[in-house]
Amino acid sequence: MKPRIAVITFPGSNDDRDALRAVRLLGGEPVPVWHADRDLHGADGVILPGGFSYGDYLRTGAIARFAPAVKAVTRYVEAGRPVLGVCNGFQILCEAGLLPGALIRNAGLSFVCRWVNVRTEARPEGWPGWEAGRVLQIPVKHGEGQWVGSPEDVARVEERGQVALRYCSPDGLEDEAFTPNGSTHNIAGLRNERGNVLGLMPHPEHAVDPDLGPTGGIAVFAWLFAMCGAEVSA
C-alpha cells in the first residue's frame, strides 16, 4: 500500500516541500494541501510541517490554529486518523488543543540550529511502528522550542506515557546538558492520549536521505506510515 500523506502549507511554511519529498522518498504519495482548504483530499495521514506560519505573530502557531485546514485536522484527529506535527506543526497542535502544554522561547533566548540526539520512549500498551529505546540523530532549528506545561500537564503526560521523545546524549543518557532549549523533562516530542497524534521539535524530514547525512527521521515516518497501514520503503 502506498499511503497518501497530506502536507499542509501555511503562509510562512518553509519545510513543506522537504516533507513532501521525504514522503515520496519513503514510498508514500505526497498530497499538497493549502491552509485555506476545508478538507484533506482523502489523505491517510497528515503532516503539519515546520516554518513560521503567519510570521509567528502573537505566538507561534496562534494564528494558524484558526485556518480551515486545521479545523479539518481537528475532525480528522477526532476520527482517530494519524497526524504528525513538526516544529511549527507541533506548536500549532498545542495551540489547537490537540496536544498539551505550549512551546515558548528557548531557555537561552537564542535560535538553535544543529543536530541533536533524541531517545524514543515507550507507550504502556505499545505503539504501531515505534521501537522504544532507540537513539535517533535528527536536526533542530527553532527559537521557540521549549515545551512547558502546568504541573498537572507535566504529571499527566508522564503518567499516561505521552512522552514520545526526549533529548539525550549519543548513548541515550538523559540530562539537561543535551537539551537545546530547556524543555521540561527534556521532552522533544509528545503524543496524545489516543496515540494518533505526534508532535516533535526536531525535523525528521531532514534526516531520511543517507546521501545527505544521518537518517534518524525514518523512524518517525515509520510510525506515520504504520498508522496508515503501510511501511516505509527505506
pLDDT at 229: 95
Does residue 232 sit within a domain? no
Once rounded to an integer, what is the mean pLDDT over residues 172-193? 97
pLDDT at 71: 97
Residue of 67, 58, 55, 59 lying closest to 46 (CA atoms): 67
Does residue 222 sit within a domain? yes
β-strands 45-48, 83-86 pairing: parallel
Does the annotation count 94 as an active-site position? no
pLDDT for residue 188 is more than 80: yes
pLDDT at 218: 98
pLDDT at 178: 97
pLDDT at 124: 85
β-strands 102-104, 83-86 pairing: unpaired
Indicate the average pLDDT of the chain: 96
- Residues 124, 92: Cα–Cα separation, whole Å: 26
The structure's pTM equals 0.96
- Residues 193, 159: Cα–Cα separation, whole Å: 11
Does residue 233 sit within a domain? no
Contact 91, 103 (CB under 8 A): yes
Banded pLDDT at 227 (limits 50, 70, 90): very high
Domains in the chain, number: 1
Once rounded to an integer, what is the mean pLDDT over residues 185-212? 97
Residue of 207, 209, 206, 202 lying closest to 234 (CA atoms): 209
Banded pLDDT at 162 (limits 50, 70, 90): very high
Query: Could you read off the pLDDT of 71-123 as tens digits, one per residue?
Result: 999 999 999 999 999 999 999 999 999 999 999 999 999 999 999 999 999 99
Does residue 220 sit within a domain? yes
Choosing from 35, 142, 203, 206, the catalytic residue is: 203
Contact 83, 76 (CB under 8 A): yes
pLDDT for residue 234 is more than 80: no
Query: Could you read off the pLDDT of 172-181 as tens digits, one per residue?
Result: 999 999 999 9
CATH number for the domain including 89? Answer: 3.40.50.880
Choosing from 94, 205, 206, 228, the catalytic residue is: 205
Does the annotation count 203 as an active-site position? yes
pLDDT at 10: 97
Does residue 234 sit within a domain? no
Query: Could you read off the pLDDT of 139-155 as tens digits, one per residue?
Result: 999 999 999 999 999 99
Does the annotation count 41 as an active-site position? no
Provide the residue range defining the domain that includes 18: 4-227
Contact 162, 189 (CB under 8 A): no
